[in-house]
Every structure is written in C-alpha cells, then in structure tokens.
Amino acid sequence: MKRPTNPMLMDFQITEDHILKGILQTARSRRQIKDNQVISSMWPVLSVLAGPTLSRPHYISYNCQEKNSYTSGSVFQANLNFTLFDHFHTEAKHFGFSNFTTGTDDDQVYALYYCKGDVDAADCLDCVEAAATKITKACKFWKEGIVWFEECTLRYANRTIFSIDEEDPYKLYYNDTGIVTEHQLDQYKQVFDTTMDALINQAAYSQGTLPGFATKQINLSTSGILEGLAQCTPDIVGRPCYRCLRTALRLRDTWANTVVFLPSCLIRYDLYETVLLSPPSQPPPPQQGLHIGIIVAVIIVVVLLIVLALIGGWFLLYKPRPQGDEDSVSGLQRLTSAQVKKMTRNFTKVLGEGACGVVYRGKLLGSSKKVAIKLLNKLDDLTQFNNEIDVLRMVRHSNVVSLLGYCQDPKTLALVCEYMDKGDLKDRLSGSCSLSWRQRLQIAIDTATGLAYLHDNCDYPIVHRDVKPANILLHEIDGELTAKVADFGYSKIFPAKDVTTLQTRIIGTCGYIAPEYSLNGLLNNKIDVYSFGVVLIQLITGKAPRREDNGVKSFQEGLETKDIENILDSKVGRDVGHASVWKAAEVANSCVNNEPNKRPNMSQIVSDLTQSLDMELRKNEVSSRTSSSPMFISNPLYLGSISEVPELQQISDSDNPKGKKKLGTESPIAPPEARKNSGNFCIGSTSKASSPVTLDTNSEDREGYPGSCGDGSSSRYITCLIVSDIVQEVPEEEAAQ
C-alpha cells in the first residue's frame, strides 16, 4: 500500500477569522482578544453538535473519458472498487489527500482524492464516500473519470495522473452562497486581482501545515467582504501548482463563475454583504468575569437552539406519514418507501437512468394505471427534489408532465409522474424508428406550447432552464404522438409576473445553454427560447449538439447557401414541403439569435410553427388530390430555378393529356395564354403573408403573374392547380376551398 505524499492533516484549527464570523461579530472591541480564547475552547463542542448533522457533500459535476472501457466483473473493476471504497475510506479518516495505485497494465488503477483545506475530517470522509459512489455509477464501465463536490475532488484512470497539472476537463461553477455581480465587483477589480495573485503565490510556494492551500479575506467596505481560496493537490506544489491555478484564473471568464475546478486545483471567491457594527467610542470598562459569563451563556443558548432546530427539521422533513396520506397544500399523494417498492415490483422495470437517478415503470396501488417513478440519488442535494415538487404542484397543462405523488423519507426520494409510453425525444431521434416531418413539427409545437404556458400563464412565471430532447417525453394517443415537457429539477420560479430577470447560478446542459446566460448568470425566459431553438434545429437536421459544437453555426451556414437538401435529416425522406421546412428553419434561426431581445416569445413560436405544419398538411392534401386526378396539372410558381424545388417540378408526360402543351416547361411562370379563361387558384406561403393564402389570379386589376401578392411582391413557393376549361371543369365551391 502506497503512503500518500504530502498528507494534509485534517485537525480542525480555529483562527481569528472563524471567531469573527461567529457570535462575537456584532460586538467587536479591543478587549475581545482574551474573550476569544474562551470561544475557541468551546468551538470543538459546538462543531461536534452542529457540524456533522448540518453539512452534507454538495455535488457539483462529473466527467467521464469515454475512450477505454472495462466490463462487469473484470479485474479492473475489482481494483477500482478496492481503491475507492476500501483504501480511500480508511485514508480519508485521517488525511485530506491520498493517491494510490494497484494492478498492472490494462488492469492498473491510478486514483487520488483531495478535500478542501477548510473541511474537517468527518466531512472529508463523507465527501470521499459520496464521490466514490457517484463516480462509479456515473462513469460505469469507463476507465477514467473525475467527480467534483464542493468539499472534495476524486478521480481515477488507467494512466498515471500523479504530480501532473492538467487543464482538461474543467468545470465553471456559480456558488450562490455569496452575492456576486459584475456591477458589484467591477469596482473592486484591482483588489480582486491583487488578492488572487497573493493567494496563488501563497498556495504554490508556502510551506505551511496545509501545502497547496491558501485563503484570504478582504474588507471591501463597511458592507462587503471578499473571500478568496486557492488550492492544489499536494503532489504538484511549486511551479506546477502555480501554473494550474493561473490556468483556473484564466478560465474564469466572468464574475458569475465564482468557482473553477480543474483536475488538480481549484480557485474560489465570494462576495458577502455584512453589517459590521462599529465599537462605541469610549466604552466603560466592564467587569471581566461578567463579560465572559455573558458570552458563555449566549453560546449555551445558541447550542440549544441548534439542537432543537435540528430535531424539529428532522420531523418536518422525514417524519413518516400514514400510507396514502395526501399533501394538504397540493393534493399530491405522499407515499412511503415501502409503497414505492411495491409499485415498482421491487425496482425491476427500468425505463432509463441519468446522473440524478433511475426511472422505473410501475402501477398506482389499487389501480392498473401505469406510472413513471423517478428514484433520485440520495447523495444529491434535496434542493433539486424539492424544487421539482414545488414546480409541478403549481402546473396543470396537457403539454407538461403531471406529478401524481412523491416519497420523501430517510430511505427514499422519489417522484411519481404520469407514464409516457413512447420514451423521450432524444431516444427517438437517435434510434432506428424515424419520425416523419409532420410528427417532428407536432412535437415542436407541443413543446413550445408547454413552455409558453410556463412562461406566461402560470400564477408565477417559470423558466425551465434545461430544455433538451431528453426532457421532452412522448405519448401516443389515437395513433398520434403528443409531447410533454418534463424534469423540472433545475427550473426557476419567478417571484412575480413583473420580475423578468434574476441573477442565478448557471445551470443547464452543455450545447443548449444560451451564450449570454453562461457568461453572466442573468436568467429570463429567453434562455428557454434559445434552448428550444437548439432542439428545433436537432429536429430539422437530426444532429445532436456536441461538446465543442452545438450545431447552430453549421445550421446557419446551410441557411445562407439555401441548401435545404443537406440541412434536412435524411431520415425524414424527400417527400416534404420545402416551404414548411424553410418556415420551421426560420423559426429555429430566430430562436438562437445571439441578441436575446430579438428572439421571439414562445407564444409567437407556437403560431409560426403551426403555420409551418399547415403548409405541410396543405401540401400533402394537394399532392393527394393531384395524384388521384391525373387531369390536374401541378405547376410550380417559384421565382427562381425550378430544380431547387424538386417536389414541385412539372408532372410527367404521362399525366398530361395527349396533344396538350405541358405548362411551365419553358418558364417557371405559366404563360398568360395558359391562364386565360381558366379557373385558377393558388396555395402557398408569401414572403409577406404570415399564413397560407388563396390568390385570385383571374382578377384583371391584380399586378404580376399568378403567385404575386397583389402589391407587386412575389411569393417564395406557390403551387397552382391549373383547372382550365380545356382540361377539366371544377365547381366554384371546390375552387374556393
């Protein structure tokens, strides 16, 4: 067993900063230095009573290197489990850092962890155990992974990772315990730069009790404190540590990113607003014994209040309720863990698995109704679980997944939702079962309708923050697919309808996050519009966003070249109305506009996509009538090259009566003599009209050719059914339809 180098002892140390943040913060005076010694002697008692119960590992993110894999039951898996669950469990009881390797060749495991320098031994152990469980599930069967918690970092690989400062992968994180905005911190930029420079040098080159770790606190004003932290793994102290921390500082591209995690180091800063009371100018000298007695009494009262609050919180949060008990606020059924187990038949039928937990199929007790039961990972914070309940108990809409019940006890966190039998959009787009263009449009309309409801029609506006195909669930009703928006763990409820923007931590899925949100953390409903635009692009192209490219740029380049054939997903086929595709493409392009105020709202998107669907349905109706009546002549009126619209090209000679000239063969515009005395009607999408129009081409005072808009402007694509008296008579009622 390899002993870790440069171990960080986790003995809890009280400094003046710890004390000043405690009970005596509002009673500063020069005579408090002696009194602080009393507080220091009692602090370990307070930390034992409150610390382990109040704190829990706070999960941030993970990354798997999906290159080399291992199999279940392999030697590599055995070595990995031994390292993470046995060896690190023992080490974390005593050390804040450990690296270890076991095995040989393809079965060799290199692993390390390090805890944040201001975390005590008990919390370090809890975090390492949580990290080991998280990474073995999240990166199952991959030979390299890393997981970040607020309290610790853990990584493993099938290659050496010791004494190396690596820049990738990294994680930018917004820590919302402080108050950080560009307006607040821009004025302190010089102070910030000086503070971080000092921290980086101290962490890299100081030979203290905690190598590679440094913290600093600066009073910015009478109402603000800037705290900074820098830390490296102890095996890269010196120049490698300095280089790693400099890289982390460079990656912090905005004030909103208050924490930057790299594999071997991290930086963090927070701005806290505080009220510091100035000491009286000439206070009378108090009696020393009385002063200390008051302090001790205050501490005892605080400890008792903490204990009572913890007991009361446990009963409120975890006290089991009778089976079938109903939430008095929302009418939701609150279930026990035993009921959830019974509903899922002991968790046997898995529908899907994600980073936050597993979704099972089950049935409501005493009913044949199928439900989806989302079992959350107990290691994740309760915040996401409670947030999803808060959102779903507020909403009732046909395009939003319904919450039927939940379970919240020390053993189980579960959400019981309506069952969607066709899975999610992500699987349908990547699977072998292709979606037709009409189905894709309907899914987009349903999703946009659900989001429009959340933004505009709820009592309190809701921004989803994680719109993506995996969170769009599908259900079949009478042979038609219906889409519903799901997964509200990251959603944000706005306090009032007139509040349009909030400063929040940055949450979402890479590739779908609006660029301005990733920079400043300012949240509004246009964030969802951008994410929806990326989803719509995926519906059109069939291409999922990648880590380095979300597909927006290549999609926009395709629009500029008008290369609709190569933009459209090949699985859709070519029997699609190009006018409908172009309309949807324009909507998608407007959604991903880099300027948020130029993006449409979700209600407008619903209207525009409905027009696109109408175009497709009319095209199919026209095609059906044309194919069933060979005397009808389909003539494309496109002011450009006919070859650009292959499905609107002229019918074959076999469809034309013998001896009759085929219209439009010499020009995309039907000659005037062919239009004379004919009962023509046109269906199409004009460049100015917002919906399919019917144009009367017989009107003598109308300018332009058939397909003009009456004001001299021309339409993009118009299909005319030439029904002349030479070919076939059409009743006026039918022509008017």
Name the more confident of 700 and 426: 426
The pLDDT confidence band at residue 54, using thresholds 50, 70 and 90, is: very low
Residue 272: what pLDDT?
A: 64
What's the pLDDT score for residue 184? 55
> HSE of 259 in the Cβ direction (CA atoms, 13 Å)?
18
How many CB atoms neighbour CB 726 within 10 A? 12
pLDDT of residue 388: 86
Q: Is the pLDDT of residue 702 over 70?
A: no
In DSSP notation, 177-217 reads: TS---HHHHHTTHHHHHHHHHHHHHHHHH--SSSTTEEEEE
The confidence score (pLDDT) of residue 87 equals 92
- pLDDT at position 662 is 35
Q: Are 521 and 174 in contact (CB under 8 A)?
A: yes
pLDDT at 331 > cutoff 80 = no
1-162 CATH fold: Killer Toxin P4; Chain A (3.30.430)
**Per-residue pLDDT at 613:** 93
What angle, rounded to 10 degrees, do the helices at 526-541 and 602-628 form? Answer: 20
Structure tokens at 533: 């635009």
Mean pLDDT calculated for residue range 658-681: 36
pLDDT in tens, 18-38: 333 343 333 333 333 333 333
CA distances, 497 to each of 238, 453, 527 (Å): 53, 13, 17
At residue 374, the 3 state secondary structure works out as strand
* CATH class of the 170-280 domain in this structure: alpha beta
**Is the pLDDT assigned to residue 317 strictly greater than 90?**
no
For residue 7, pLDDT over 90 is answered with no
Q: How far is it, in rounded angstroms, from Cα 731 to Cα 467?
A: 49
Query: CA nearest 218: which of 244, 190, 239, 237?
Result: 190
Could you tell me the two tokens for 297?
């009494």
Question: How many contiguous H segments (helices) and E segments (strands) does the chain have?
Answer: 21, 27
Per-residue model confidence as pLDDT tens digits over 258-298: 789 999 999 988 776 543 333 334 444 444 554 566 777 77
CA proximity to 152, closest of 174, 179, 121: 121
User: Quick check: 230 pLDDT over 80?
Assistant: yes
Q: Which two tokens stand for residue 334?
A: 């609150």
Distance CA 298, CA 658 (A): 105
Query: Which helix (H) or strand (E) covers residue 16, if one does?
Result: helix 16-20
From the list 190, 205, 75, 70, the residue with the least C-alpha distance to 140 is: 70
If we measure between CA atoms, which residue out of 664, 736, 728 comes closest to residue 698?
Answer: 736
Q: Compute the mean pLDDT over every residue in the chain, rounded to the nearest whole number.
A: 73
For the chain, give the percent of residues with pLDDT over 90.
Answer: 32
- Identical fold, 1-162 and 170-280: yes
Instruction: Give the separation between CA 424 and CA 644, rounded to whole angstroms.
Output: 34
pLDDT per position as a tens digit, 348-402 = 888 887 767 789 999 988 888 999 999 887 655 577 788 888 888 888 899 999 9
Least confident residue range of 90-99, 119-128, 438-447, 562-571 = 562-571
Among residues 395, 396, 394, 392, the alpha carbon closest in space to that of 405 is found at: 392
Give the integer Cα–Cα distance in Å for 617 and 621: 6
CATH superfamily of 425-617: Transferase(Phosphotransferase) domain 1 (1.10.510.10)
Closest CA to 269 of 183, 172, 187, 201: 172
Q: Regarding beta strands 502-503 and 522-523, do their DSSP bridges make them parallel or antiparallel, or are they unpaired?
A: antiparallel
What's the half-sphere exposure (Cβ side, CA atoms, 13 Å) at 143? Answer: 18
CB 127 within 8 A of CB 151: yes
Strand 522-523 to strand 681-686: parallel, antiparallel, or no bridges (unpaired)?
unpaired
- pLDDT at 733 exceeding the cut of 60: no
- CA-nearest of 42, 29, 22, 39 to 286 is 29
Neighbours of 297 (CB within 10 A): 10
Q: What angle do CA 238, 244, 247 make, to 5 degrees?
A: 140
In angstroms, the CA 312 to CA 306 distance is: 10
User: 337 with 407: CB under 8 angstroms?
Assistant: yes
Q: Are 371 and 418 in contact (CB under 8 A)?
A: yes
**Coil vs helix vs strand at 665:** coil
Q: How confident is the model at residue 661 (pLDDT cuts 50, 70, 90)?
A: very low
Cβ–Cβ under 8 Å, residues 361 and 420: no
- Distances in Å between the Cα of 402 and the Cα atoms of 405, 473, 494, 615 are 9, 12, 20, 32
Asked if pLDDT for residue 728 goes beyond 50, the answer is: no
pLDDT at 52 over 60: no
Strands, DSSP E only, in 515-659? 522-523, 633-637
Please tell me the number of Cα atoms within 13 Å of 369 on its side-chain side.
11
Residue percentage of the chain with pLDDT more than 70: 66
**pLDDT over 70 (residue 409):** yes
Locus of tokens 């806290």: 272
Query: If residue 626 lies in a helix (H) or strand (E), which one and from where to where?
Result: helix 602-628
Q: Is the pLDDT of residue 663 over 50?
A: no
DSSP state of 698: T
Q: 229 Cβ partners below 8 Å, 6+ apart?
A: 116, 117, 118, 199, 214, 215, 216, 266, 267, 268, 269
Q: Which residues of 255-273 are buried (b: 16+ CB within 10 A; e: fewer)?
A: bbbbbbbbbbbbbbbbbbe
- Residues 590-607, mean pLDDT to the nearest whole number: 96
Instruction: Find all residues with CB under 8 Å of 584, minimum gap 6, and list them.
Output: 441, 444, 536, 539, 540, 609, 612
Burial (CB count within 10 angstroms: exposed 0-12, middle 13-18, buried 19+), residue 24? middle
Q: Measure the CA–CA gap between 403 and 421, rounded to whole angstroms.
A: 16
User: How confident is residue 496, by pLDDT bands cut at 50, 70 and 90?
Assistant: confident
Which pLDDT belongs to residue 255? 64
Q: Which one of 351-355, 429-433, 585-589 scores highest in mean pLDDT?
A: 585-589
The candidate with the shortest Cα–Cα distance to 392, out of 369, 366, 372, 378, is 372
Predicted confidence band of residue 314 (pLDDT cuts 50, 70, 90): low
Round to whole Å and give the CA distance between 312 and 293: 29
Q: Give the residue from 242, 222, 247 showing the smallest Cα distance to 232.
A: 242
**Host H or E run for residue 102:** strand 97-102
Q: What is the pLDDT of residue 708?
A: 33
Q: Are 484 and 400 in contact (CB under 8 A)?
A: yes
Sheet hosting strand 224-232, strand order edge to edge: 171-173, 259-261, 265-273, 224-232, 213-221
Q: Given a cut of 60, is residue 200 above it in pLDDT?
A: yes
Q: Tell me, which fold does domain 325-418 have in CATH? A: Phosphorylase Kinase; domain 1 (3.30.200)
Q: Are 265 and 248 in contact, with CB atoms under 8 Å apart? A: yes
174: Cα separation from own chain's centroid = 14
Contact at 8 Å (CB) between 472 and 535? yes
Would you state the pLDDT for residue 597? Answer: 94
Higher pLDDT, 292 or 118: 118
Segments making up each domain of the chain, as ranges:
1-162, 170-280, 325-418, 425-617, 632-735
Reply yes or no on whether the pLDDT at 718 is more than 60: no
Distance of CA 694 to the CA centre of its chain: 43
Decide if 4 contacts 96 (C-beta within 8 A).
no
Q: Report, as residue numbers or ranges, the catalytic residues.
A: 466
Q: How many CB atoms lie within 10 A of CB 468?
A: 24
Rounded Cα–Cα distance for residues 43 and 487 (Å):
42
Between 49-58, 188-197, 317-326, the lowest mean confidence (pLDDT) is in 317-326
